[in-house]
């Protein structure tokens, strides 16, 4: 009997096992062999999307935060706490789909401080550990479309307008001006003199 609709059929005859499964569209498989066991995994092929890195060419980085399945109130309350604890500037709030948000703060930090700030939020926990899973050891936010989600849409500035004397990333600031030309930016007082921002393609679940 043939398998259908993604169901899996296992047949055993003597010492031989036959597995039948019809792969759904966009589905793939992987066979893993260990010393004492063998496994087969079925999974959806990851989607390749385009985004920008939080890293700066001087070894520092800006703060990027990714929220999934939360209310806007959660994001705003989290950022209020971050401003009080870490003395950071205003941020840009973007929406990718209902209850999914991006937060972008252009102030520059050493990377361990970024990790500590993310741990203080209720953002996507997989995002917190993103640097452990990519060779660039950075955080990335999406710019392109994604299956089931549109390009990020600017919502508003969040947080208090304070600490404007702290330097921000000029390349990231210029990137936002190009992609979102209608944004009214905070009145920043100090910019770094860097030129380049890193754009990346990366895998994400569909």
**Residue pLDDT, tens place only, 171-197:** 999 999 999 999 999 999 999 999 999
For the stretch 31-47, pLDDT in tens is 767 666 777 765 565 66
Residue 174 shares a structural domain with residue 79:
yes
Q: Given a cut of 60, is residue 163 above it in pLDDT? A: yes
Task: Give the total number of structural domains in the chain.
Answer: 2
Looking at residue 57, the DSSP 8-state letter turns out to be T
Would residue 176 count as lying in a domain?
A: yes
Report the pLDDT averaged over residues 113-141. Answer: 95
- Give the torsion sign (CA, 62, 84, 189, 152): positive
For position 2, what pLDDT does the model report? 42
The answer to whether the CB of 90 falls within 8 A of the CB of 80 is no
Percentage of the chain beyond pLDDT 70 is 85
Q: Given a cut of 60, is residue 4 above it in pLDDT? A: no
Residue 37 shares a structural domain with residue 123:
no
Burial class, 168, CB count within 10 angstroms (exposed 0-12 / middle 13-18 / buried 19+): buried
For position 162, what pLDDT does the model report? 86
Helices 72-86 and 111-119, packing angle to 10 deg: 130
For position 202, what pLDDT does the model report? 67
Q: Which of 66, 97, 103, 98 has the alpha carbon at shortest distance from 83?
A: 103
Residue 176 shares a structural domain with residue 106:
yes
Residue 17 shares a structural domain with residue 89:
no
Residue 89 shares a structural domain with residue 154:
yes
H or E segment and range at residue 16:
strand 16-21
Residue 18 is part of which domain span?
A: 8-44
pTM for the predicted model, two decimal places: 0.77
Would residue 2 count as lying in a domain?
A: no
Residue 52 shares a structural domain with residue 35:
no
Residue 18 shares a structural domain with residue 103:
no
Would residue 131 count as lying in a domain?
A: yes
List the Cα angle 126/122/170 in 5-degree steps: 80
For position 102, what pLDDT does the model report? 98
- β-pair partners for 105: 63
């Amino acid at each position: 009997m043939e398998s259908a609709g993604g169901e899996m059929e296992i047949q055993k005859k003597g010492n031989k096992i036959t597995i039948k499964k019809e792969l759904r569209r966009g589905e793939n498989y992987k066979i893993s062999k260990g010393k004492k066991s063998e496994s087969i995994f079925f999974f959806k092929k990851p989607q390749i999307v385009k985004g920008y890195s939080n890293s700066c060419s001087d070894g520092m980085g800006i703060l990027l935060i990714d929220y999934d399945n939360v209310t806007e109130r959660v994001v705003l309350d989290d950022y209020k706490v971050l401003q009080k604890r870490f003395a950071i500037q205003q941020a840009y709030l973007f929406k990718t789909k209902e209850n999914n948000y991006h937060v972008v703060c252009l102030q520059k930090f050493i990377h361990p401080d970024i990790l500590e700030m993310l741990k203080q939020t209720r953002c996507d926990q997989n995002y917190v550990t993103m640097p452990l899973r990519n060779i660039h050891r950075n955080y990335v936010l999406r710019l392109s479309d994604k299956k089931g989600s549109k390009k990020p849409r600017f919502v508003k500035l969040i947080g208090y307008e304070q600490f404007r004397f702290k330097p921000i990333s000029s390349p990231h600031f210029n990137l936002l001006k190009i992609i979102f030309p209608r944004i009214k930016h905070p009145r920043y007082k100090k910019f770094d003199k860097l030129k380049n921002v890193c754009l990346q393609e990366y895998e994400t679940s569909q």
